[in-house]
Copies of this chain bind each other. A is one copy, B any other.
Amino acid sequence: MGKKENKKSVEAITSMEEDFAQWYTDIVKKAELIAYTSVKGCMVIRPYGYAIWENMQNILDRMFKETGHENVCMPMFIPESLLQKEKDHVEGFAPEVAWVTHGGNDKLEERLCVRPTSETLFCEHYAQIVQSYRDLPKLYNQWVSVVRWEKTTRPFLRSREFLWQEGHTIHATAEEAIEETERMLNVYTKFCTESLAIPVIQGKKTESDKFAGAVATYAIEALMHDGKALQAGTSHYFGDGFAKAFNIQYTGKDNQLQYPHQTSWGVTTRLIGAIIMTHGDNNGLILPPAVAPIQVVIVPAAMHKPGVLEKANEVLKALKNAGIRVKLDDSENSPGWKFAEYEMKGVPVRLEIGPRDIEANQCVLVTRHNGEKTSISLENLVSGVQEKLQQVHDGLYQAALENRKNRTYQCRTIEEIQQALETKGDGFIEAMWCGEESCEDEVKAKTGAGSRCIPIEQKQISDVCVCCGKPAKHMVLWGKAY
């Protein structure tokens, strides 16, 4: 890691057509989202990157609370014996946890892992506090970081430590727990659609791909600009498996002891990666207005001419008072430098204001995602900007949907999949599946496209499995994934 490598700069970045991975890395560094550290596989989330996460947190936290959830905080450590209580769960996670073996100079009697996820801790707690049907449901969530000892890492997409929220709920009946699983999948979908301008497909994971210990895992899948899929959120239904492993029981209305049913669900900072790869372009980041730390930047022209800064400050104040996140850049850098800087940082709307604009009682509004320039009267500035921010959101969402549409291929044979990926580039494949894991594996081995999910909205592409030709059970969404 070179010293000073994160120094601000508005040099050009690698184009995404030339090298998508390098384009991504250039953006996370030059938009000042992250910095590398000497802690391998971990990163610093810098103020601009963290502010995006804070905006996401605020929106999601409100959605969670509106649906009756409460925040808690569990320890970051899990004793090895506790992790081992649920067989599938420990098998899934033990190989990739970080182990604490010493406290100060003393060797611990029992190793502790740094939580990779907290089902086991929530279960231990639920066993303490759930006795009667009156104690149910418990709808808990926590905002923390977790650690998974990945071999290969990339900022936001896969790092050894990442930030997330993990919801953990416990219910009297299977029906209620299943309903919760679906509710939270819908919350995530609404969030991606309405706040991140990212279209997603809801589906169920196949058996081989579900969460360690779950009965069923649901996910939302998004398609990146390069045609690769990204899992944007998951919601798991556990049945009573964890309850049995952790001996959580409650007395029902019928006075009988029963096992409750559980769920968990989470989204992570990888959603920042999803934003970059869904909306970004060769000038840098493009942020959806709902989570942009700066929604509007004001760049004055001929800044030192009388009246310009005064007017710019008036505009600043008016927008701020309307609740818009706005910044006036009155630094000595040139307007051209500023344009490039805020383009790199993906600020959705730029306002230019100079002596001639002031004379005409207007300013110039430029939208980041399409470079559209319009004049906007200072009379109805606030409503004009608000309207434009909504248009930016809609424009981003439509462009992402269009990209997905252009990159979704319906295929009836493995050869068709191969051909589609080769001639049209990576994307989503809609193809039928018989339900056998061997066919799932074969499709992946031959085409590189794995099963992403069994979409909730099914289509009938054909009657037979794309691989073996036997009767099909589901349409599966296939793709190469981050």
**A interface residues, Cβ below 8 angstroms from B:** 1, 3-7, 35, 37-39, 42-47, 50-51, 53-54, 70-79, 81-82, 94-106, 112, 114, 121, 124-125, 127-129, 131, 140, 144-145, 147, 149, 160-161, 163
Given contacts A7-B131, A99-B102, A128-B6, contact A51 B76 (CB under 8 A): no
Nearest-Cβ distance from residue A218 to partner chain B, whole angstroms: 25
- Of the residues B45, B124, B163, contact of A38 by C-beta under 8 Å: B124
Most-contacted residue by chain B among A1, A114, A131 (CB, 10 A): A114
Whether the Cβ atoms of B73 and A163 lie closer than 8 Å is yes
Nearest-Cβ distance from residue A182 to partner chain B, whole angstroms: 23
Given contacts A102-B101, A131-B4, contact A46 B71 (CB under 8 A): no
Whether the Cβ atoms of A50 and B73 lie closer than 8 Å is yes
- Of the residues B38, B46, B79, B96, contact of A72 by C-beta under 8 Å: B46
A144 proximity list for chain B (CB < 8 A): 145
Given contacts A6-B129, A35-B125, A37-B75, contact A47 B140 (CB under 8 A): yes
Whether the Cβ atoms of B161 and A75 lie closer than 8 Å is yes
Q: How many copies does the complex hold?
A: 2
A51 proximity list for chain B (CB < 8 A): 70-71
- Of the residues B4, B44, B72, contact of A74 by C-beta under 8 Å: B44
A104 proximity list for chain B (CB < 8 A): 94-97, 149
A76 proximity list for chain B (CB < 8 A): 42, 76, 114, 145, 147, 161
Nearest-Cβ distance from residue A453 to partner chain B, whole angstroms: 27
A47 proximity list for chain B (CB < 8 A): 70-72, 140
Extra inter-chain contacts (9) besides given A76-B147, A76-B161, A101-B101, CB under 8 Å: A5-B128, A37-B125, A38-B79, A38-B124, A44-B74, A47-B71, A99-B100, A99-B102, A103-B160
Given contacts A82-B38, A103-B98, A149-B104, contact A45 B70 (CB under 8 A): no
A94 proximity list for chain B (CB < 8 A): 104
Give the CA-CA distance A37 to B149 in the complex, in Å: 25
A38 proximity list for chain B (CB < 8 A): 79, 81-82, 124
- Of the residues B53, B74, B95, contact of A105 by C-beta under 8 Å: B95
Nearest-Cβ distance from residue A102 to partner chain B, whole angstroms: 4
Give the CA-CA distance A255 to B97 in the complex, in Å: 48
Give the CA-CA distance A169 to B53 in the complex, in Å: 21
Give the CA-CA distance A149 to B112 in the complex, in Å: 13
Whether the Cβ atoms of A75 and B4 lie closer than 8 Å is no
Whether the Cβ atoms of A112 and B39 lie closer than 8 Å is yes
- Of the residues B46, B75, B97, B112, contact of A44 by C-beta under 8 Å: B75
